[in-house]
């Protein structure tokens, strides 16, 4: 089975978020970048498990500049066989999805896995867009994935329980917590990653549909009002008369 | 501009988030001189359809043939409905269903999409939408460059998000059955975890607890407080990981993100990954024995105290408050 895993770059969750150039760009100074957690822990690791069980090949793909290569090497160190970087900045979800869909279609993948969302943009858009452009089935937020022959069985959490779904391959599936356990790359993996193929291909898509104009930060939170544990009635009164939430 | 709102149904009822999306869509339509229509599916009751219309919706297209959440069929349905109503903007709720369908509609129509809107769009010059980014730590203004546009709206993000503009009367409902093609996803089973309480993403009030509660047996008081308040229950990640609570209650960066009016955090330390899922809440109350717990920095009201003492007092105080209101 040939699996394509979409890998994006994200600021470490504890990073301080600031902007530059009149709030038009994310300020990357001093920010530690990681593989987007959903892509790494769940999509990539599950792809590796499926390959280990059934044979095949795991390719990772990123749409981004040369600055993506360190996180791509990390994905190779965890165990992906090869990497492809589409040499273009990621402009919007559609442009990223169209690049990935073009590559996936011309290279006949059985399964395309994405994370459920990027932690920087939280869009949950790219996976569905890839599926629509490829014209193959899509399921989002999968917490379990089994593949048997031509069919994938997926579980996902829904209010009140867990839904079990089946789709035929090829398909695009977005991965959420539960699908696999995080793997830490070992020394051998890190050494091997250096010599694994990382090919750079030119962009084929030129149009984006949206453009980010400006960023802003939420207003700073005021100080907390502390309530005496002996006087909980006051808390309820404040929630009613001051905060007006009950 | 004409607006089409995708209204999700759940067990025959129109979802609350759909009423919000309808109000939002109707307001955008009226400020830009257009009309708002709804497309919906499944086994819906007439009362729900009539109520939808009262939020400023002029026409409802209803496809009874689709009953499962099948992204491919719902995408075809939405695109056909957008053509039928000459919609330039399609509004979804940024929930489970919206996230499964909106990106597909966007890519098929090449209509620019903004996911997770938290305000009405600017429509004077460029079409610009404010959205949440960096797990709630920042906002972005995103311009949609295409003629056809798509927005997914974060539930509970807009104050007074649901407002009626006319009395409930019989809605203008048309049966709508465009060519849908084959189903792409088969629903094989639904394993119920029993949690038939209030839908967490839609809840206005949420009572949440963490490892400070020490064991699953101590959730009785959490559930009682939630019941008295009419709130949904939530939990921190370690609590669902060790199986004290069902997974769908887990909020945070790896769980779900919520924006209730009131979030009460009991015995939760307030780690950054937890805050990522709840920092959009309007009012946060923190109850924790440790006055240094990081959650107090994100809180509006705090009680430094033992949950086992404070929560029972809260239950009594809420009961007394309700009695006073009645
Ligand atoms: C990449 C990543 C993603 C993560 N995603 C999430 C996520 O989505 N959601 C999430 O919640 N976590 C997430 N975590 C875990 C997160 O970092 C914290 O470990 C977790 O939120 C802590 O849960 P807690 O507050 O329940 O437990 P603890 O950190 O153990 O805190 C318990 C708190 O209870 C207080 N307490 C103890 N006894 C009492 C008492 N009797 N009365 C009142 N208070 C009491 C303590 O003072 C303490 O503050 C993630 C971690 C990582 C690394
Ligand atoms: N620049 C990118 N390159 C490769 N994959 C990406 C990129 N951006 C997003 N993805 C994939 O799409 C998923 C969803 O992203 P998003 O729509 O931004 O929430 C991510 O978890 C990744 O798997």
Asked whether residue A237 is domain-assigned, the answer is no
Answer whether residue B195 shows pLDDT above 70. Answer: no
* β-pair type (B205-209, B262-266): parallel
Answer whether residue B12 shows pLDDT above 90. Answer: no
- At B196, is the pLDDT very low, low, confident or very high (cuts 50, 70, 90)? low
Q: For chain B, how many residues are written?
A: 326
Contacts with B325 (C-beta within 8 Å, 6 or more apart), sequence order: none
Asked whether residue A225 is domain-assigned, the answer is no
CB contact under 8 A, A246 and B248: no
- B293 CB less than 6 Å from ligand 1? yes
CB contact under 8 A, A159 and B199: yes
A181-206 pLDDT tens trace: 999 999 999 999 999 999 999 999 88
* Contacting residues of B for A178, CB less than 8 Å apart: 247
Asked whether residue A234 is domain-assigned, the answer is no
Indicate which CATH number applies to the domain containing A116.
Answer: 3.40.50.620
Contact yes or no for A85/A222 (Cβ under 8 A): no
Asked whether residue A97 is domain-assigned, the answer is yes
Q: What number of CA atoms fall less than 13 Å from residue B300's CA on the CB side?
A: 19
Of B71, B145, B4, the C-alpha closest to A206 is: B145
Answer whether residue B203 shows pLDDT above 80. Answer: yes
Q: What number of CA atoms fall less than 13 Å from residue B76's CA on the CB side?
A: 18
- At A53, is the pLDDT very low, low, confident or very high (cuts 50, 70, 90)? very high
Cα gap A124→A109, rounded to integer Å? 21
Residue B121 CA to ligand 2 center (angstroms) comes to 25
**Domains of chain B with CATH codes:** 3-175 (3.40.50.620), 200-325 (3.40.50.1220)
DSSP chain A: -EEEEE--EEE-TTPPP-EETTTTEE--TTPPEEE-HIIIIIIIHHHHHHHHHH--EEEEEEEE-GGGHHHHHHHHHHT-SEEEEEES----HHHHHHHHHHHHHHTT-SEEEEES--TTT----HHHHHHHHHT--EEEEESEEEEETTEEEEEEEETTEEEEEEEESSEEEEE-TTS-------HHHHHHHHHS-EEEEE------SEEEEEEE-PPPP---EE--TT-HHHHHHHHHHTS---
Asked whether residue A241 is domain-assigned, the answer is no
Answer whether residue A161 shows pLDDT above 80. Answer: no
Q: Identify which of B242, B244, B254, B263 to mutate to test ligand 1's pocket (most ligand atoms within 8 A of the CB).
A: B254
* Contacting residues of B for A222, CB less than 8 Å apart: 300
- B311 CB less than 6 Å from ligand 1? no
Answer whether residue B111 shows pLDDT above 90. Answer: yes
Contact yes or no for A172/A138 (Cβ under 8 A): yes
Answer whether residue A245 shows pLDDT above 80. Answer: yes
Q: What average pLDDT is seen over chain B? A: 93
- Residue of chain A whose alpha carbon sits nearest to that of B189: A164
CB contact under 8 A, A162 and B107: no
- At B197, is the pLDDT very low, low, confident or very high (cuts 50, 70, 90)? low
Cα gap B22→B152, rounded to integer Å? 12
Nearest CA owner, ligand 2 atom 1? A63
* Contacting residues of A for B118, CB less than 8 Å apart: none
Answer whether residue B11 shows pLDDT above 80. Answer: no
Give the structural domain span for A151: 2-217
Residue A210 CA to ligand 1 center (angstroms) comes to 37
A30-46 pLDDT tens trace: 999 999 999 999 999 99
Q: What is the pLDDT of residue A120?
A: 86
Residue B112 CA to ligand 2 center (angstroms) comes to 16
List residues bridging with A168 in a β-sheet: A151
Q: Hey, how many other C-beta atoms are within 10 angstroms of the C-beta on B242?
A: 11
Answer whether residue A54 shows pLDDT above 70. Answer: yes
Asked whether residue A228 is domain-assigned, the answer is no
Q: State the total domains in chain A.
A: 1
**B43's torsion region: left (phi>0), alpha (psi -120 to 50) or beta?**
beta
- At A55, is the pLDDT very low, low, confident or very high (cuts 50, 70, 90)? very high
- A90 CB less than 6 Å from ligand 2? yes
Residue carrying the six token digits 């309700």:
B322
- At A159, is the pLDDT very low, low, confident or very high (cuts 50, 70, 90)? low
Asked whether residue A28 is domain-assigned, the answer is yes
CB contact under 8 A, A178 and B96: no
Q: What is the pLDDT of residue A33?
A: 96
* Contacting residues of A for B184, CB less than 8 Å apart: 137-138, 167
List residues bridging with B13 in a β-sheet: B10
Q: Identify which of B288, B293, B308, B311 to mutate to test ligand 1's pocket (most ligand atoms within 8 A of the CB).
A: B288
Of B6, B20, B3, the C-alpha closest to B199 is: B20
Contacts with B36 (C-beta within 8 Å, 6 or more apart), sequence order: B2, B3, B4, B5, B22, B25, B26, B28, B29, B30, B56, B57, B58
Q: What is the pLDDT of residue B21?
A: 95
**Percent of chain B residues past pLDDT 90, beyond the cut:** 75
Asked whether residue A227 is domain-assigned, the answer is no
* Contacting residues of A for B189, CB less than 8 Å apart: 163-164
Q: Hey, how many other C-beta atoms are within 10 angstroms of the C-beta on A243?
A: 18
- At A14, is the pLDDT very low, low, confident or very high (cuts 50, 70, 90)? confident
Residue B247 CA to ligand 2 center (angstroms) comes to 24
B149-168 pLDDT tens trace: 999 999 888 877 788 888 77
Q: What is the pLDDT of residue A29?
A: 93
């Amino acid at each position: 089975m040939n699996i394509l895993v979409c890998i994006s770059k994200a600021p470490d969750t504890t990073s301080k978020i600031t902007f530059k150039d009149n709030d038009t760009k994310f300020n990357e100074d001093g920010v530690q970048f990681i593989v987007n957690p959903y892509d790494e822990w769940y999509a990539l690791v599950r792809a590796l498990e499926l390959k280990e069980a059934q044979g095949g090949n795991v390719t990772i793909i990123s749409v981004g500049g040369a600055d993506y290569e360190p996180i791509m090497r990390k994905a190779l160190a965890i165990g992906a066989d090869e990497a492809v970087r589409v040499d273009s900045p990621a402009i919007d979800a559609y442009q990223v999805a169209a690049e990935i869909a073009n590559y996936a279609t011309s290279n006949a993948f059985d399964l395309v896995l994405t994370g459920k969302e990027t932690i920087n943009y939280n869009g949950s858009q790219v996976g569905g867009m890839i599926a629509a452009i490829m014209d193959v089935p899509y399921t989002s937020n999968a917490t379990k994935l089994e593949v048997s022959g031509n069919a994938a069985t997926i579980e996902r959490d829904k209010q009140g329980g867990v839904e079990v779904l089946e789709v035929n391959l090829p398909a695009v599936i977005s991965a959420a917590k539960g699908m696999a356990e995080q793997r830490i790359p070992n020394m051998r993996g890190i050494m091997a990653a250096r010599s694994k193929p990382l090919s750079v291909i030119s962009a084929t898509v030129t149009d984006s549909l949206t453009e980010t104009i400006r960023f802003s930060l939420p207003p700073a939170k005021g100080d907390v009002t502390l309530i005496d544990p002996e006087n909980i009635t006051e808390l309820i009164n404040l929630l009613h008369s001051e905060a007006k939430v009950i | 501009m004409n607006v089409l709102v995708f209204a999700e149904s759940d067990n025959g009822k129109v979802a609350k988030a759909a009423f919000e999306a309808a109000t939002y869509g109707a307001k955008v339509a009226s400020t830009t001189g257009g009309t708002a229509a709804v497309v919906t599916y499944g086994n819906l009751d007439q009362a729900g359809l009539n109520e939808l219309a009262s939020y400023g919706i002029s026409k409802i297209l209803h496809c009874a043939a689709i009953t499962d959440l099948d992204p491919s069929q719902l995408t075809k349905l939405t695109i056909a409905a957008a053509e039928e109503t000459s919609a330039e903007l399609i509004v979804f709720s940024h929930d489970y269903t919206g996230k499964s369908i909106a990106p597909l509609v966007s890519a098929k129509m090449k209509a620019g999409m903004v996911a997770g809107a938290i305000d009405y769009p600017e429509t004077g010059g460029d079409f610009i939408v404010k959205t949440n980014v960096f797990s709630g730590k920042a906002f972005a203004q995103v311009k949609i460059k295409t003629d056809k546009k798509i927005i997914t709206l974060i539930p509970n993000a807009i104050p007074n998000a649901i407002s009626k503009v006319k009395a409930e009367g019989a809605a203008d409902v048309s049966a709508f059955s465009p060519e849908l093609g084959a189903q792409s996803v088969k629903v094989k089973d639904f394993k119920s975890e029993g949690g038939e309480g209030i839908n967490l993403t839609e809840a206005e009030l949420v009572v949440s607890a963490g490892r400070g509660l020490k064991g699953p047996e101590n959730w009785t008081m959490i559930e009682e407080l939630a019941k008295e308040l009419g709130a949904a229950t939530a939990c921190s990640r370690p609590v669902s990981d060790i199986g004290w609570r069902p997974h769908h209650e887990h909020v945070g960066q790896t769980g779900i993100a919520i924006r209730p009016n009131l979030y009460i955090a009991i015995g939760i330390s307030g780690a950054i990954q937890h805050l990522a899922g709840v920092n959009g809440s309007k009012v946060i109350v923190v109850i924790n024995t440790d006055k240094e717990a990081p959650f107090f920095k994100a809180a509006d009201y705090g009680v430094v105290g033992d949950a086992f003492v404070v929560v029972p007092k809260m239950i009594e105080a809420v009961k007394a408050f309700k009695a006073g209101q009645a």
